[in-house]
Structure formats: structure tokens, C-alpha cells
A and B are shown apart, each in its own frame.
Chain A
Amino acid sequence: MVVGGGIAGVQAALDLTELGYYVYLVEKSAAIGGAMAQLDKTFPTNDCSL
């Protein structure tokens, strides 16, 4: 089980499925993505965050 659907939680969940395990991803809000989804660009390459 992964608690939190931000970038850390999502990555952990994805990696666990790739490693061959069934994962429950628990997020308290209506969508995953967390704080990173609110960012416009990312440092230092200014890639789009979404």
C-alpha cells in the first residue's frame, strides 16, 4: 500500500507494479499528482511540470 498520490507516491506505486506486486495507492483528494500538478515549470530545465 502506498499512502499519498503525489509524485513520490505515484512513482513508488508504478515501480512496485513493475516489480511484480499488486499495489493500493491511497490519495485523500479527488486526483493524484499532488503539489507537482500545481507547478507550471520545473527547475532548471523549465520543462512543463504536468
Chain B
Amino acid sequence: MRPRYIDADKCTACGLCTKYCPKHLVDQYNEGLAVTRPIHIDYAQAVPATYFIDPEACLYLKHGTCQICVCTCQSKAIDFSQKATEKELQIGAVIMAPGFGRVPDATLAKYSYGLHPDVMTSLEFERLLCASGPFEGEVKCLSDRRHPKRIAFIQCVGSRDLGCNNGYCSSVCCMYAIKEAMVAKEHDPEVEITIYYMDMRTQGKGFDAAQKKAEAMGIKFVRARVADVMPWDKNLKLTYSTLDGTHSFEPYDIVVLSVGLDAPADAKNLGEIAGFALNDYDFCKTETFAPLLTTKPGVFVAGAFQGPKDIPESVTQSSAAAGLAAGLIAKDRGKALVHKTYPKEQKTGKDEEVRIGVFVCHCGINISSVVDVAAVEQYTEGMEGVVYHAQSLYSCSQDAQEVLKAKIKEHNLNRVVIAACSPRTHEPLFQETLKDAGLNRCLFEMVNIRDHCSWVHANEPAAATQKSKDLVRMGVAKARHIQPLPEQTVPVTAKALVLGGGVAGLTAALTLAEQGFHTTVVEKEATLGGHLQHLAYTLQGDTVSTVLGELTDTVKKSKLIEVLTNTELTQVSGFVGNFSSVLTTTKGKKATETTLDHGVIIIATGGREHRPEVVLGNPVKYSETVVTQRELEQRLSGKGKNLAPKSVVMVQCAGSRGDDLNYCSKVCCNHAVKNALKIKALDPAAQVVVLYRDMRTYGFAEDAYRQAREQGVVFIPYTMDNSPKFKSSGKKMSITFFDPILRDEVTMTPEVLALSVGIVADGTENLSKLLKIPVNEDKFFLEAHVKLRPVELPVSGIYVCGLAHSPKPVEEIIVQAQAAAAKAAMPLGKGFVSVEPTISCVDKEACIGCGLCESLCPYQSIRIIKDENGKRKAETITASCKGCGICASHCPVFAISMGGYTDEQINAQITAFGAQ
């Protein structure tokens, strides 16, 4: 462990030290576009919120001089005596998540990067766009601070480029380029932006729609290769060549290089230390059907080190890796955890005298340099209910907590108001102290006189002091009405229900079983395996039936997994931890129903092949000659002779991306390349032509795409306004398309026309109604948060994975299933769900059973039940209530109150607002 030279317990992140530090340092966080000091914090929200000293730049650590920071720091946090330490840890499993590295500058040199300041990387441009960046979010040329009129993005810099040994596609650059272009356009709608690309690879869920939006905003997309970028007067000259072989050049003010994700710089080192293998590109080596296992048992991998990927996929992999690691060390669950005990809570009755203590914080000088803290403290003297008030230098410091506890005891306080910083960051800390002092943690109110006052009214001390007084008065008014709230937990039935017996469902069930949880897998068909049963081989060369066979065998052998085929979910009730489901099994004409109690649901109901009747305006009849890629794959993997057709034309995006379906199915490009390679392997003389819009062989699949081209597979792009035309000629089909290189129409009559059709959701609408969870416009389930909660659904205790979430290749399905299982294991493992006390509570006496609340609740967390007298009454489902208060604000008879935000409390605040 390297030293920070700052005591984390004492540092309050006030920033004085950085202000006084005399030495400049290039700010790496801002990609070198700004300067900071050797003693600094990367950004205001950094965790830990402790400053640190760069030993390579600090004058004292380098030359033994200065030490100005030591006397500036009011909390005496600077400690130059800290030394690097070594720790030896006993661990059960390792997850490798070192991220990605930088593309070397040498690769960027041909675009004049380093030669001209207005050629920048996408990450540098990202910092320029950011409000906390070097120009506070104003986009300016680095050369002369002028506002750019024309900006170009160059895609695939350091990706899909064997010149720098990065043959793979980085899978994220198309998206971030679109994002940055859109943000730049929002900053200045006049700016002209062009994105130069080879293929736009926006294959993720909802990504194509974002590209369309960018086009609608006036961002230009040009399919071209950029030869070079040269300084040209004040501007930059960008030379590019388009498919038809013409060369052109354009002037730009800023050129952004969409740099790819390289392997982490220390990948080799990590691999050697931990003993796992890397792939050809120095990313972690993994297998299609075990995507998160390194070659070393017990070492898992997650994130960009497994292969370049975006945030949601990294998050999914992390959850999945956590689940796998947890399975490995399942017997040690809960062993090393530290449990804290608290003194018994003292009773605070409703009629007891209110005794409020107010503590006003200086926050070093953060508050007191603007706000007159003493005046604010004095202001509370004589306020109704206030029996004690004090100031503190740092109310969040460890010693201040001790003082707080002592004062609670000494003055018998039963409400505490702290005027300091944000409750979003510090409420838990003070609530912990309250618990230590034997008070219910809800008997607490925080008033934010730093973030919302001293920091934002720095030049108006009188007004800021007045505002602080007002806010404190409102806080105290609320505190008078605060009541203790019980800590609530809801027990959990430690069983899972998995809907769907395809690769997603089976993987999820196995991951749960490894962690020791009972799982029931429900499959509506007679056999397990789902979509994967129709596939023969993978792009990476695995034989699907072998792997699938092993998977189903393991599932069938597991004592913890029950498999029900020919079965569907027909009814469900309950909530997280306590679901009750009716499962209907159909055998012949006989249907039997079983009821199952379980704590969580994983949806893995899959999807099915789309079979459009019209493709690109051409009516289609499927036959021996007109097939889908899946049918072609079955033919190619069959047993007969002449497996490979002599000539094949493949049409990509058949029925997808605005043709019939509105989205990209993510797998069809890989499928086409896979089949093309198979045909070439069977018969190198066979002719294969692939007509495409954008080849989306992202990640390491780019290698296969390149291989296919090397083996003579011909790839020809088409556009929607000039798409291929089909014509029946006897048994065969002839296809006419425009060849941009020949600049002419070409007609072919191949033996087989293979349509790369997409994947559609299957049965999601029914399930959506049954479980009250939303689907998106393409009928796939909508996750709780697309970036950070990618396998959770808005209803607590329900998770999604596989094709029911969106189309994706098998490797990603497996990861998602493992992630869903890991998330589902959390409530199962704990045995209870704990609930924040700030939830809704229905006064049954007052409730008239109108049901308005039930219809409005976005989380299905309030329902109408019949009470013992048969009267309709609303009831909060404690386990899943999020405390938003929509029910309370709409209740016509004020029967619903929100813990910590009652009408009484809010009204008291409003009245106090008016009482100056």
C-alpha cells in the first residue's frame, strides 16, 4: 500500500492545502488539459474523499523543502511520516478487473496528434465537454481558445487496425462518439460535426435509436477511411477516401480521435503474478461458454480486461463474477463479516417533551468563511423545543461524534438538528451516532448550509447567513414533529423461480445452486435448451450440442434444482422475498396446477427467430433456396454430401433496423460470418457474397470478419434508399444490388439466398401483465437502470437475463444469467429484506378504499385488500416501497403518511419558511 501522506480520518476535503501548495502539476484526471497541485484530489466527488500527495511532484518529498500544507491544514491531517506498507491476505477467490489501457501515442501520430493541439483524443474531448473540465464545459480549440465551427470524429483509431496489433473492435467508440457529438451540438447548435467511420456499430439495446437522433440533430455520418490529418493554416486538413475510390479533403477546427481500448499496460505482469493466460491481444483469455473464468481456477475476470466493452456489460460481468466467486467460497458465507451492536433504543413517546439539540458546523472555513456561524447558533436560542445549541469545527469528525453522544446524554436530547453539509453524504454517519447514543436514527434532521449556502453564495455573506438562519428555523420546525420509526425487515423464502429452460435459465439455476439455493426451472416446451438447440457451432468453433448436453446434465443431476417442462407460470402474487406462484403443467390434454412459494423470480424466457414475410420491400417465401442463417447453419452441419452450396448471397438486416423490426439484433453479423467461414472451410471454391449495412462484428469477432475477407468472402454494403431487389426465376432467386466500387447494378442468381433475420421477444407482453413489469417499444423487458442495474427490473425481487432482455450472443447471455443469479442470491442469502423507514403507511381507519394509490404507485407497492369486515383498504407492501410519496400526495382523505416526510412535518417547514 502506497502512502497518501494524509490521514484519511482527519482530512475533511476542504481543499485549503491545494490552494496553498506552490507547485504546479499536470492534471491527469483532466487528461493533461488543466493543472493541479501535488497535493490534491482528482475530482470533488472522489472516493475516498481524502486528498493525497503525489510523491513524485511534492517539494518536500522530492527536495525536503516547503511543507506549507502542514501549517495550512486546520485538521492536522498531513502526515509525511507515512510509509509504503505490504499486506499479506488470505483470500478465497480473486476477481480481476483492471480495466483497459491506452492506445500508444505513436498510433495517433499520423493524424497529427501531438503535433497540433486541436487534434485530441475522445477522452480529452470528453473533459472539454464536462462542466467540471478545463473550460467549465465550454468547447474551445486548445490552440487559440476560439470556438470551433467544424469538428470531425475519426473512428477506429487504434481499433480494427493490425498496424498497431489491435485487430479487434473496441465496441464502445461508435457510441461515445455519437454521445460526444450530441453533447457538443447541445453546447453549440451551430457547430458542424462529421463522423468518419467504417461501420457504425450501435448494436446495443436502444443504441440505433440514439444514432438516428444524432442524425436528426444534423450530425453527419460519412463512411470513409481517413488517410491523414495535417495542420493547415489555422485549421486542420483531413484527407479521406470513400468506397468509390475518390479522395477528398475538408478543413476542421477540431479533430477528435475515437481511440479504442487497449489491453491494460500491466496485463502481462498481472497474468504472471496470478498465473492466468492472456489472448493474442493481451486481454484475459476466456472461453465462449465460460466467459468469466481465467485459465487459473479461483481467478475470475470482469470488465474491459475480459474484452473491450461498455459500462452496462462491465457491470453485468462484475455481478456475474461476484456470483461465481461466491459460489466457489459458499461455505464461508458470512464468516468474516463484522456485525455491529448498539445500545438499547430509548423510548420516545408521542407525548414526551420535545428536546432538540442544534449543532452548527464551521466545516473548517468552508461554512464559517461566508456564514456567520455564531449568529446562526445564537439564532436558535429560545426557539420552541430547542434546549441545547452549539458550534463545532468539524461536526463529522470522530471527536465531534463523541461530543454529540455526550451532549445527547447530558441534556437528554430526543431530537438532533445538524446544520452542516449534505444529508446525502453525511446523514448515515450522524444516524449511526444517534444509534450509538441509544436514539432512534430517524430523530434527526440535517440542514445543508454548505453545499446549498456558503459554497454557492460566497460573495454575499449577509444573505448567506440569513438563508442559513431560515433553513435552520425550517429544520427545527420539522424536528419538532419527527417521530421515531421502526427498523423494518421482511423475511425471505430462500427459493428461486427461474422462468425459461434455455441457456440463460439453466445457467442462472446452476449459479444459484452453486451458492446453495433451491431453484425451480419452468420450461414451456418439452425439452430444455431453448434457442441454442437450433445452433450447431459457434464462431469460436465450439460444438453447441456437446456444451448444451453437459449443461442440461449438470442441471438434471443437481439436487437443488427442480425442472418442470411443459409448464408455464399462470398466476403470481406477493412481493420480494414472498412470492407465491401457480404453475400449470400441460401433459397431452391434461393440465395440472402446482403452487410454489419462492423469494425471487428470474426471467429467462428467451426470444425466437424473426421470420419476416417481406424483406427490404421484397416478398419472401422460405424454401430450399431462400433460407434463414439458422437454416443454413443446420444444412452446413448436416451429414449429407454437398453440404456447402456453390454460391450464396447473404442479406444482412433482413427485417431489422427499420425494415420491419426497428432494432439491431446484435448476432446476425456474427452469424453470417460464421456460416460464410464454414462454407469456405467445406468448399474453398464456393462463392459467398454478403450484402450489409454495417458489419457489426464487434469485439474479438472482428478477427473472424477479417479472416472471412482473407478467404475470399465478398462484403458489399447497401443503403436503405438503394437496397437489394429479389426476383424469382424458376426455383431460384435472383438478387440485384448496387456495387459501390463498380458503381453499377449487379445481378446474381445464387444457389442459396440466406437472410440474416433478427430475434424477436417471445411472450414478454403476457408476462409483463402478469408481473406488472414494463417492456420497451420493441417488447423486451426494461431494466431498472440501463447502466448500473442492467439485470434488475423495476419491481424488487425480479431479475431478467438472456434474449428476454434484448438480442445478444450466447457469451453475453451466460454472463447475464450469472449476474441475474448473483443479484437474486442477495435477498436469498440474507434471509430478509431490510427496508428504509421512510416508506408509506396507511391509516386503515381513514382509508376509504378508493384504490387511487394502487393505480398510481410506480412500484406496485401499495395494494387494496379486504379487511376483516370485508371493507376495501389500502396496504403498503413494505418490502418494495421506495418512499416516493405519490400515494400520500394523491390520497383524497390524507390517510397515507410518509415516514420522515409527513404532511405535518412538511407543513411545519412551510409555516416556518413564512415566519421570518
Contacts and interface: CB of A to CB of B under 8 A. Distances in A.
Interface in B116-172: 123, 126-127, 129-131, 133
Contact of B207 (A12, A20, A29, A44): A44
Interface string B315-351: 1011101110110010011111110000000000000
Contact of A11 (B96, B100, B175, B319): B319
A18 B318 CA distance: 13
A28 B617 CA distance: 56
A40 to B, nearest CB: 4
A22 to B, nearest CB: 4
B576 to A, nearest CB: 14
Contacts of A50: 43, 45
B4 interface: yes
Interface in A1-50: 1-4, 6-13, 15-16, 18-22, 24, 29-47, 50
A45 B317 CA distance: 21
Contacts of B42: 29-31, 37
Contacts of B314: 6-8, 11
Contacts of A46: 179, 182-183
Given A4-B99, A44-B209, A38 B126 contact: yes
Given A20-B830, A31-B48, A12 B321 contact: yes
B303 A8 contact: yes
Given A7-B311, A9-B97, A40-B183, A16 B325 contact: yes
B270 interface: yes
Contacts of A44: 175, 178-179, 206-207, 209-210, 213
A9 B822 contact: no
Given A9-B303, A44-B179, A1 B47 contact: no
A43 B207 CA distance: 8
A24 B89 contact: yes
Nearest to A17: B337
A41 B326 contact: no
A12 B318 contact: yes
B46 interface: yes
A16 to B, nearest CB: 5
B822 A19 contact: yes
Interface string B766-796: 0000000000000000000011100000000
B317 A22 contact: no
Most chain-A Cβ atoms within 10 A of its Cβ — which of B89, B175, B322?
A: B322
B858 interface: no
B466 to A, nearest CB: 31
A43 to B, nearest CB: 4
Contact of A42 (B45, B209, B787): B787
Given A15-B323, A46-B183, A33 B126 contact: no
Most chain-B Cβ atoms within 10 A of its Cβ — which of A21, A32, A47, A50?
A: A21
Contacts of B209: 44
Contact of B322 (A16, A43, A47): A16
A3 B270 contact: yes
Nearest to B87: A24
B176 interface: yes
A35 B323 contact: no
B491 interface: no
Nearest to A6: B99
B633 to A, nearest CB: 32
Contact of A38 (B52, B127, B304): B127
A34 B130 contact: no
Contact of B319 (A4, A6, A15, A36): A15
A36 B302 CA distance: 15
B499 interface: no
Contact of B97 (A6, A22, A31, A37): A6
Most chain-B Cβ atoms within 10 A of its Cβ — which of A15, A16, A33, A34?
A: A15
Given A38-B127, A44-B179, A31 B311 contact: no
A35 B207 CA distance: 21
Contact of A45 (B127, B319, B322, B786): B786
B360 interface: no
Nearest to B326: A19
A24 B210 CA distance: 38
A12 B302 CA distance: 8
Nearest to B175: A43
B879 to A, nearest CB: 16
Most chain-A Cβ atoms within 10 A of its Cβ — which of B29, B97, B823, B826?
A: B97
Given A3-B98, A8-B97, A40 B126 contact: yes
A9 B311 CA distance: 12
Interface in B812-845: 822-823, 825-826, 829-830
Given A8-B317, A15-B319, A39 B126 contact: yes
A1 B31 contact: no
B84 interface: no
Contacts of A35: 99-100, 123
A1 to B, nearest CB: 5
Contact of B43 (A21, A37, A42, A45): A37
B217 to A, nearest CB: 12
Contacts of A1: 89, 91, 93-95
B828 to A, nearest CB: 10
A31 B43 CA distance: 9
Contacts of A34: 99
A4 B96 contact: yes
A32 B210 CA distance: 30
A33 B210 contact: no
Contacts of B318: 7-12, 15
Interface of A: 1-4, 6-13, 15-16, 18-22, 24, 29-47, 50
30 contacts: A1-B89, A3-B94, A6-B98, A6-B99, A7-B311, A7-B314, A7-B318, A8-B99, A8-B304, A8-B315, A9-B302, A16-B325, A19-B825, A19-B826, A20-B333, A20-B337, A21-B332, A24-B91, A29-B42, A30-B50, A31-B47, A33-B46, A37-B46, A38-B126, A40-B126, A40-B130, A40-B183, A41-B183, A42-B311, A43-B176
Given A12-B95, A15-B323, A42-B787, 6 more contacts: A1-B93, A4-B99, A4-B303, A8-B318, A35-B99, A43-B175
Closest 7 CB pairs of A and B: A8-B303, A44-B210, A15-B322, A22-B336, A40-B130, A11-B318, A4-B97
